[in-house]
Amino acid sequence: MFGFTALGVLLAMALVLVRGLAGPTVYDRILAVNAFGTLTVLLIAVHGFLSGRPDFLDIALVYTLINFIALIAVTKFAKFAHLGGPFEQRSWSDV
């Protein structure tokens, strides 16, 4: 049962990857990456049950968070072409 689900999710991942590679506009690619991330989370959760060690779901949780943060960064880059702003008039020194 879990095996079937895992294979199904893998097939969906392949489909999403094709859209990612082919995607004409950058927004298609961002969509593909978002869907790919969610499907990976599902794959890890299903595999946890498949291998009989369901207590590894922290990894799936981390994937969700990282997927969200990477997505916000990509979208912000697609829209504003920089990640730092908004820059109020405040200067600082790093060194």
Partner 1 sequence: MVAVLLDGLSWLCLVAGVLAALIGGIGLLRLPDVFSRMHAAGLIDTLAAGLIIVGLVLQSPSWTVAVKLILIIVFILFTSPTATHALARAALHGRVLPWLGDRSSPSEGAPSSKA
Partner 2 sequence: MDFPGLFNYWIVIALMMIGFYIVISQGNLVKKIFGLNIFQVSVFVFYISMGKVEGGTAPILAPGFATYTNPIPSVLILTAIVVGVATMAVGLALVVRIRDAFGSIEDDEIAKLEGDVT
Partner 3 sequence: MINISLLMIMVATALGLVWLRNLLAVVMFSGIFSLTAASLWVVLGAVDVAFTEASVGAGIATVLGLASLALTRTEHEKRTRVFHLPALIVVLVTGAALIYGTLDMPGWGDPDAPIHTHVAPRYIEDSLAETGVPNIVTSVLASYRGFDTLGETTVIFTAGVGVLVLLGRGRRYPVANPRVAAGGGPGRAPAAPGSEGAAVPGDSGEMRFKAILRVGGKLLIPPILLFAFYTQAHGELGPGGGFQAGVIFASAFILYALLFGVPMARAVAPASVLRGTLALGVLIYAGVGIAGVLLGGNYLDYSVLAHDPVHGQELGIILIELGVGITVASAMMTVFFVFAGQDPQQVD
- Closer to partner 2 at the Cβ: 1 or 89? 1
User: Measured between alpha carbons, how far is 44 from 23 in angstroms, rounded to an integer?
Assistant: 26
Q: Is 52 an interacting residue with respect to partner 3 (CB under 8 A)?
A: no
CA atoms within a 13 Å half-sphere pointing along the CA-CB vector of 3: 0
Q: Residue 35: which of partner 3, partner 2, partner 1, none does it interact with, CB under 5 to 8 A by kind?
A: partner 1
- Our CA angle for 73, 42, 72, nearest 5°, is 10
34's contact among partner 3, partner 1, partner 2, none, with CB below 5 to 8 A by partner kind, is partner 1
